[in-house]
Amino acid sequence: MKITITKTTTPNVMPPEEKLGFGKVFTDHMFIMDYEEGKGWYDARIVPFGNISLHPASTVLHYGAEIFEGLKAYRRSDGGVQLFRPMENIRRMNNSAERMSLPLLDEKDALEILETFVRLEERFVPKSFGTSLYLRPFMFGNDEALGVHAVKRATFMLIASPSGSYYAEGINPVKIMIESEDVRTVRGGTGYAKCGGNYAASTRAGERAAKKGYSQVLWLDGVERKYIEEVGAMNVMFKIDGEIITPMLTGSILPGITRKSCIEVLKTMGYTVTERLLSVDELVQAMEAGKLEEAWGCGTAAVVSPIGKLAYGDKEYEIGGGKIGEVTQKLYDILTGIQWGKVEDTFGWVHKL
């Protein structure tokens, strides 16, 4: 595909790596292309990073037609840069687009956009283990009219943010609260799509949990408020009595790429991973019986995040003595090892640039 590049005349200074947070500073450029029904995607361009201008009636501002993805470019110890399973993000973005009646991307073009952009912004891929260049592709409906229908115009963009290690002092188990009031999404809704509205609707519960001293909430399903779904904006896994269980993908859960990768790594480690409905009652019983050995969240940002305490109602349960469990640690080591190029990738997941 043809991508025109207009370089910035005012390059940014890359902040010191130890000062990088998450998603706060951006690279010099951004990618944009536009879509119009009948014309398809056009005017693919990389331009200096900056504000964009929208018509006040733009669909995204009224009806929330927005989807996004999140993936990282990692610096290997040999100095090279690589992506992790980028086609998975591209395919998921198209599934999200289909759900929100937004236009699909050509998969090959989308990969070329990622590659071209990361090569251009290579100096922003930090070097220390755990740090990365976080890539944020996103798309929004951009009709300049208030009618409610599938959009005729859309915009796709890619921005990138050099980000620090998610864990400044190593991975620490977090405190999580089981949420029994708000739900994230429902089956038949948009849970499997990575659309902005899912996140806007879930921050209230997260804020309330934070006020009570918890890092995040554990979501229950929106139909029966009975089955475990996700933890915050991550998928969740449990080791109960030797068996690894993760909620099955019912349509309200985001099909995480880290989740999928964890399942494959765990299988090669000799564990059976069961994807099924797991009720909160079953989980509480396992905790009461001391059979919940490990619990962790998994997602691109944190990779693997151990859960040390879980609260339900007015009861708080400690998991694995509040320490990171053996399986959680191994998963973290293997996945981060592959991502940062320290462990041989026997799965064919890394995409070197």
Instruction: Of 309, 284, 340, 287, give the one whose Cα is nearest residue 130.
Output: 340
Tokens representing residue 200 in the block: 């806007």
Site for ligand COI in 25-44 (CB under 6 A): none
**Phi, psi dihedral angles at 160 (to 5 degrees):** -145, 145
Instruction: Of 185, 303, 293, 294, give the one whose Cα is nearest residue 234.
Output: 303
Residue 257 binds which one of ligand PLP, ligand COI, none, with CB within 5 to 8 A depending on kind?
A: ligand PLP
Burial class (CB within 10 angstroms; exposed 0-12, middle 13-18, buried 19+) of 254: buried
Q: Does 216 bind ligand COI (CB under 6 A)?
A: no
Residues in CB range of 168: below 8 A, 6 or more apart: none
Q: How far is the CB of 70 from ligand COI (least distance, A)?
A: 5
Q: Does 103 bind ligand PLP (CB under 6 A)?
A: no
Site for ligand COI in 62-101 (CB under 6 A): 70
Binding ligand PLP (rule: CB under 6 A), the pick from 90, 183, 254, 263 is 254
Q: How far is the CB of 256 from ligand PLP (least distance, A)?
A: 3
Contact 150, 97 (CB under 8 A): no
Q: Does 331 bind ligand PLP (CB under 6 A)?
A: no
Q: Does 304 bind ligand PLP (CB under 6 A)?
A: no
Tokens representing residue 87 in the block: 């086609």
Binding ligand PLP (rule: CB under 6 A), the pick from 132, 300, 336, 339 is 300
Q: Does 299 bind ligand COI (CB under 6 A)?
A: yes
Instruction: Of 216, 217, 221, 228, give the one whose Cα is nearest residue 189.
Output: 221
Binding ligand COI (rule: CB under 6 A), the pick from 216, 246, 300, 336 is 300
Pick the stretch among 101-109, 163-171, 228-236, 337-345 that binds ligand PLP (CB under 6 A): 228-236
Residues that bind ligand COI (CB under 6 A): 70, 233-234, 299-301
